[in-house]
Structure 1
């Protein structure tokens, strides 16, 4: 018995040691092979960055002398294409969402909507974007940094201009943000707040869209269930007033879900992606050269240090605890430093002509 005991203790020790090594191996292994594959960088902290120290650090990383890095651009475009595929999935179409299929709300995955013929008839037949890649795209954020920026001409010089949340245009803002628009997004809450959900007079709403001409009006009709009826009222209203009005298209909730997964794998933890980040991602797939303006989420100007309004057109506070704008900016800044897209901060040079 005495001779067996040391042998038994040795076996128990070796078994315990191997068990520890096994769990160490598991803890250091990627939990999700897909996430490990799509992420080509070390994950950022999953918390929004706050404080002036972080802003100063970001400004030190930023360089206005930007040059495109073709290899990095193609790599990130391929990553987007393999993950979310804007050309086939970004917009709800009759080809990718047939009658009888289900649309799962990206903001409330427990709820879905069956596609019946009347709803199907509101979908565009095929994706509305140019089949070949566009040479250049500008995505215009609504940050207060655009006020007095004189960036209007640069913005309008792009082949394709994307604007967010029906931000106001016109002579008052033309010098700073331009007027050209090919695609503009709108949050359905805008129609509820400004136009009483289109349950009363609709002409004022239609007239407010005249600055956007025949652009595409992109609505997140299937992010949350309440978005659907009001988005359809927008569709039918513009169909009734078809003369020189934007064409309504619907953002695909499956695309948003896939895109959110990609950005989460890169360190973004937020309740929702901002419209600006979604549009910037879309632009990288659609365009060979991507320029971002108005994407500065901090309260003071990066060069003059003057206090900024929340938007270039007003100082209305943004909703809290929905987006992580500072973390989104850091992710976009990383793409800027890697030559994937051009993030413009500050004023634009004024031409002498």
Structure 2
């Protein structure tokens, strides 16, 4: 397949052999203490031929956990678990950024190690339920973070980023998308603050910018990426005018010279092009559900420098090899996406095994 997809690229200081990236995907297979396992290491190492692997969301603190069996990056045991993962990925020739995800209000006390009330920009409960060990539960009203707690949370991100580098990661991705804590600060409905972190667009972007500044200062901007999802309503987020928020956000982030911006395509082509024009560095575009040709067209049109894929990479550990050979792709088993054992995790056949 002759396509710009297979040409070299960079993400900060990391040189990539091609432009196909594995998107972050929650798999809920860590230990109850948030430690990645040997199976986790095998899962990521199997997919090392992707240009860049971005890990599942990893909580930077106990308050950051929302889902059962997600990994953390705030204890010695968790860092040691991630070291096993990064060693396996590097031995297989891959590169891995760890995504740091604080879920904010998308949580339930039953799913956290300390059983505390979730935290958020404001005391506004999200619609929907959270799966717990005893079944689906309504998510409670979160506690509004004080300004000193906001500063402490920024420090949690900074420390987790340093721990990820200590664990051998090539960089980190700050999760500012999909309705989690940073996205909650950006939104109209989850952020009802009237202080320096709420109200105007400039105040609502402040938390995101300060987290990025803290992480970049700690580990280097060239090892720091950030993911955004303008206008994405996932997890009960309302953004009435994303342009008013994300224009200033990118203007504030651009001078940091981050490794990349990871854009969840907003479905609005004009907005996507506007954000592309506003971002001077490497842009990863995640156009969920699109076929490969559409994603390649984003590179050809100059919208994307890199493209990320989720389910395709989940179900095909040798995805680049299959695409180059024009081989049939495995079908993802959605019943095994979250939780469980090796089934639907490390047992998808490689091309030669399938044949």
Please report the TM-score for the alignment, with normalisation by the length of structure 1.
0.26
Higher-Rg member (1/2):
1
Query: Greater strand share, 1 or 2?
Result: 2
Query: Greater helix share, 1 or 2?
Result: 1
